[in-house]
Amino acid sequence: AKKIKIAIDGPAGSGKSTIAQNLANLLNINYLNSGALYRIIGYYLNERKIDPKDSKIIENILEKLNIEIKNNRYFLDGKDVTITIKDSKIGDLASLYSKNNIVREKVNQIIKKIAEKDNIVVDGRDIGSVVLPDSDIKIYLTASLEERAKRRWNEEKEQKANISFTEILEEIKNRDYNDSNRSIAPLKPAQDAIIIDTTNLSIEEVLQKILKIVKESG
Ligand code: C5P
């Protein structure tokens, strides 16, 4: 049977993963966080001090790298790294190594393989535009820089007592810049994506909007 694919793309702090995860739960289908795959690879390559431009070494390493996903938990060579990779430093590493095309191909392969056999919601930067262009529904979530920074700050200030709002705002600004200006698969809405500005919307409101779109699509 044909598998349903829903792509949710957008910049850092747009609410993608929260929305995608909730949507998958409501529709009772799988959820895949493509950013987590970039984070795992970024983390692994950085630990080994690999030059992000050294495609040859990266290709060799990625061939042997074992990434598994079970019940929304992410495993690197058998070790559960779900929590480890959430750190914003690892997000920056993901962004750095995600510029390399070998890394992107590896991640895309994993996503495509999973999307072939399961109904799925995938979130990322280039899912609707590059990885799964035949997605049944493509959503591009966005929000003002200030709002996105505010959300991240609220998430992070509990664990990191001394992190300032300005620091997070700068981090997100940099990440936006890097992700939007790289040469391969830059962050941008797919031509046929439905853009939702979530600046003034609650999670519940965004979910309702998307559920309506899903229902109307048949
Ligand atoms: O979404 P998340 O913050 O976890 O993504 C971390 C980084 O991984 C992004 O800043 C981006 O550089 C990269 N990424 C990507 N394409 C995706 C998902 C994430 O390039 N589909």
Range of the domain at 93: 5-197
Integer Cα distance of 147 and 106 in angstroms: 32
Q: CB-based contacts of 122: which residues, under 8 Å, 6+ apart? A: 5, 6, 7, 8, 20, 31, 32, 33, 34, 111, 115, 131, 132, 135
Phi then psi dihedrals of residue 172, to 5 deg: -65, -40
- Provide mean pLDDT across the span 91-102: 97
Ligand 1 centre to CA of 35 (Å) is 4
Domain-located, residue 213: no
Residue 212 lies in a domain: no
Q: Is residue 209 included in any domain, yes or no?
A: no
Rg (CA), the chain: 17
The string of pLDDT tens digits covering residues 14-62 is 999 999 999 999 999 999 999 999 999 999 999 999 999 999 999 999 9
Taking Cα atoms as reference points, which of 89, 76, 101 lies closest to residue 182? Answer: 101
Atom 1 of ligand 1: nearest residue by CA position: 35
Mutate which of 44, 98, 168 for ligand 1? The one with the most ligand atoms within 8 Å of its CB, which is 98
- Give distance in angstroms: CA of 218 to centre of ligand 1: 30
The answer on pLDDT for 1 being more than 90 is no
Q: What ipTM is given for this predicted complex?
A: 0.98
Reported pTM: 0.96
Q: What band does 67 get if pLDDT is binned at 50, 70 and 90?
A: very high
Mutational pocket test of ligand 1: of 89, 93, 125, 135, the residue with most ligand atoms within 8 Å of the beta carbon: 125
Task: Decide if 211 is inside a domain.
Answer: no
Residue 109 lies in a domain: yes
Residue 81: pLDDT band (50, 70, 90) is: very high
Assess contact for 11 and 177: CB atoms under 8 A: no
pLDDT of residue 159: 78
Write the single-letter amino acid at 35.
G
- Do 59 and 102 meet the contact criterion of CB atoms below 8 Å apart? yes
24, part of any domain: yes
Q: Pseudo-torsion of CA 23, 29, 35, 36, nearest 10°? A: 120
CATH of the domain at 157: 3.40.50.300
User: Directed axis angle between helix 165-181 and helix 88-97, to 10°?
Assistant: 20
Mean pLDDT of the chain: 95
pLDDT tens digits for range 156-175: 887 777 888 999 999 999 99
Residue 204 lies in a domain: no
Local confidence band at 88 (pLDDT 50, 70, 90 cut-offs): confident
Domains of the chain: total: 1
Q: Would 79 be classed as within a structural domain?
A: yes
